[in-house]
Amino acid sequence: MTMQENKLENEYLTGSEQIVRANGVELWAEAFGDPDHPTVLLVMGAQAQGVQWNDGIVRRLVGGGLRVVRYDHRDTGRSSVIDFATHPYTVADMASDALAVLDAFGAARAHLVGASLGGLIAQRLAVTDAPRVLTLTSLSSQPLGTDTVAAVQRALEGGSPLPGELPPPRPEVLAALTTAFPRPEADLEEYLAVRMPLWRVLHGGVLPYDEGEYRAMERRVYERARDLMAGLNHTFAGAAGSGSTADLASVTAPTLVLHGTEDPMFPPVHAEATAAAVPGARLVMIDGMGHTLPSSLDDRLAAEILRHTSRAQP
């Protein structure tokens, strides 16, 4: 590698940060890679920050010829904290935020990769803003229109799923969720003590569990957050609903559904339902993966995304 090539590689892997102002909020965002390359927007899940997309995945996607953009949702990380009682929002508003991030980086069209709630946001955009979506990857998610909040509430109260309803999270996840949220004034060690049991459950019981990796991630989350509890508003936003599973029949973007065989939050039938609802969607199950993105899977996940995005370059 020449000195010039090495300089360019380091430049593109350093990341270019900016604050995007749109829809009455400020959104922290960061881009990696050559601006002339196709853009992939990484959309995180509920209560999760953009930096929870592993740096290893980002590097691999950039190395595969993509420009990578990740960002903090409203109510997470360095983005705006919202008074939800006076300014409620929905998944549709969060989808508008994603478009604003693309606009800020000059991306008229992009590949969308959404994890968990981010998968619903990406699906929503593939339905409502199809011309802007090159490809769709729904990762560890469920079909648009699924009311997870109601299903969880029924399960916590001892009820059974409604006829035709997708299964709720597994009992061990429900138990962990009841104790996974710290006091607003919690210090770092108290915060970590509360969060680690949830990550252990979400990781699943098949792949080796590296607690140090999850602790480092949560420490980064703690240090960046304006308000650690604000992300709970995503629960209310998701419950509001922004479409139906039937809407996915209109998706024209090539679609990949990636899911873990051991996902305890959204059991694999959620992925099967998503793939069945999108015309021509391809379902890929990742052996042993739970509802997290451990670095041990960076190679596999990046390879699947790169293989998929190569089907539809602008």
According to the model, what pLDDT value does residue 225 have?
95
Q: What is the pTM of this model?
A: 0.94
Question: pLDDT tens digit string along 273-305?
Answer: 999 999 999 999 999 999 999 999 999 999 999
Q: What is the DSSP letter of 277?
A: H
pLDDT of residue 149: 82
CA distance 16 to 37: 15
From the list 292, 304, 251, the residue with the least C-alpha distance to 116 is 292
Spell out, as residue ranges, where the chain has pLDDT lower than 50.
Answer: 1-9
| Whole-number pLDDT of residue 314 | 55
Find out whether 202 and 265 touch, Cβ atoms under 8 Å.
Answer: yes
pLDDT at position 275 is: 98
Res 155: pLDDT? 82
**Where are the domains positioned within the chain?**
3-309
Q: Would you name the residues annotated as active-site residues?
A: 116, 263, 291
**CATH classification for the domain delimited by 3-309, as one of 3.30.1330.10, 3.40.50.620, 3.40.50.1820, 3.30.1330.40:** 3.40.50.1820
Quote the pLDDT of residue 147: 83
User: Which of 113, 69, 112, 120 shows the shortest CA–CA distance to 90?
Assistant: 120
**Per-residue model confidence (pLDDT) at position 238:** 75
Each residue of 70-100: pLDDT tens digit? 999 999 999 999 999 999 999 999 999 999 9
